[in-house]
Amino acid sequence: MFPGGPEDIAFTYGIVPVTVTDDTAVLPVRVDARRGRQVRLEVSDRSAEHVVTSVDLTLDVAGTRMAHGGSFGVQGASYVLPVEDPAVTYGARAVFDKKGSSEQSPSPYHYRIADTRAGIPTDPVRTVAREDLARVVMDFKAPGVASSGSAAVGMITDDSLPMLTVEGPVDFPSKVIDYRAPGRYESEIRIGDNWITAPARTVSLAEPGRETWNNALLGPTLDSTTGLNGDGFMSIPDIPWFVDAETHDFAYTPASGTLTLKREGEQVAQWQAGQWGYAYGLPVEKATYTLQASVTRSVPFATLSSRIDAEWRFTTAGTTEWLANPLMVPRLAAVGLDEYNRAAGKAPTKVLIGVSGQPAGGVPATRVTGWRRPSTRAAPGSR
């Protein structure tokens, strides 16, 4: 039910059971909003301040799940009409940060709490203690220089309720503690024009989590796709070039430069970084392809990984089946760097090496032979 007027920012939500015997009849339904019970979610930490609360109701009808709800901030309120019905799911979620925090002084912690029940309760009130939540350390490293941006975390439910995502300011570098109700969460950061997201992760009281962002060494990733080839056509994806070695399901990191695709040494396509590349009318005979890239960036929020030179070489033949291009790239994670991604002087730095992309797929795979330092020129190479 909607507010009564422009000054009324209280909402009442309810599901009224109705028995239908004639699907052509119009049935009157009486809803008594005075029966509404106010939703209140709180945390026991008195230094925390409410940011937003979301209230959602879902209903299973004939194998179809329907959902409805909304959210309110500091000045709003929501009420629900109690009902005992196992087909109805009540879900309330809320986010809190530190009192007095702002864009200039971001909160050092967040609470993300939830209250999910079968039916709509007569007492939609709950206070959550810190020990009932999973502790997640969010480590926002700086790529060489201090800067600011934003981070967003989305609360995912298993009851088809809409995801509650809250975005807030964050400093690079900084550490933010997230106290989360057990469950699944998505997260992302934005810094300048860069936008990087992480796949959903599950946290529990037994297994608290840690998220590290901007952990050098920054370089290209092929986690999402390597493009396709088949039937005389080949596509090369818009490659995110300056991404850390953590697992990501989306990244947008603008760069300037040129990519060139060659077949047996002859150029078949060339395009600018930041877009997909396409080659048409390719012969069906087996051939060796070379993908060369030289990209740069100059941004105020990073002094590391300013240039990348890369070359991939792979063999494929025309086919009516669509195959993923056998492109791969090393993903390097240095251990023990400080908050600005600086290594300790006069001491070795341990580097963990992973692989992103399609190292196999029915055709010979790219073989990586080297990577230059990201502080000067970071270059995955292959022969």
Each of the 383 residues of the chain gets a pLDDT tens digit; together they read 444 444 457 888 888 888 888 888 888 888 888 899 999 999 999 999 999 999 999 888 777 777 777 777 767 889 999 999 888 999 999 999 999 999 999 999 999 999 999 999 999 999 999 999 999 999 999 989 999 999 999 998 766 677 899 999 999 999 999 999 999 999 999 999 999 999 999 999 998 789 999 876 788 999 888 999 998 999 999 999 999 888 888 999 999 999 999 999 999 999 999 999 999 999 988 899 999 999 999 999 998 889 999 999 998 887 778 889 989 888 888 888 999 999 888 888 888 888 888 864 333 334 333 333 433 333 333 33
Smallest Cα–Cα separation from 291: which of 274, 306, 278, 307?
278
Tokens matching residue 371: 């990577």
Contact 337, 347 (CB under 8 A): no
Q: Name residue, tokens 């941006």.
A: 149
The rounded distance, in Å, linking the Cα atoms of 14 and 56 is 10
The rounded distance, in Å, linking the Cα atoms of 13 and 124 is 12
Pairing verdict, β 10-13 and 77-80:
parallel
Contact 181, 131 (CB under 8 A): no
Q: Name residue, tokens 């809320």.
A: 94
pLDDT value of position 377? 34
4: region left, alpha or beta (phi > 0 left; psi from -120 to 50 alpha): alpha
Q: Name residue, tokens 């009281």.
A: 205
The rounded distance, in Å, linking the Cα atoms of 170 and 138 is 10
The rounded distance, in Å, linking the Cα atoms of 165 and 155 is 6
The H-or-E segment that residue 103 falls in is: none
The rounded distance, in Å, linking the Cα atoms of 143 and 355 is 21
> What is the distance of C-alpha 164 from the center of its chain?
13
pLDDT value of position 376? 33
Torsion (CA) 211, 213, 215, 218 in degrees, nearest 10: 140
Contact 80, 39 (CB under 8 A): yes
Q: Name residue, tokens 């900084």.
A: 174
Report the SS3 class of residue 336: coil
Counting beta carbons within 10 angstroms of the beta carbon of residue 341, is it exposed (0 to 12), middle (13 to 18) or buried (19 or more)? Answer: buried
Smallest Cα–Cα separation from 324: which of 356, 352, 370?
356
Contact 119, 66 (CB under 8 A): no
Q: Which residues lie below 8 Å from residue 39, measured CB to CB, with a gap of 6+? A: 53, 55, 77, 78, 79, 80, 92, 124, 125
Let me know the angle formed at the C-alpha of 351 by 274 and 186, rounded to the nearest 5 degrees: 55
Q: Whole-structure pTM over 0.85, yes or no?
A: no
Smallest Cα–Cα separation from 185: which of 213, 204, 212?
204
Cα atoms in the Cβ-side hemisphere of radius 13 Å centred on 340: 10
The rounded distance, in Å, linking the Cα atoms of 333 and 212 is 11
Which value, in Å, is the radius of gyration of the alpha carbons in the chain? Answer: 26
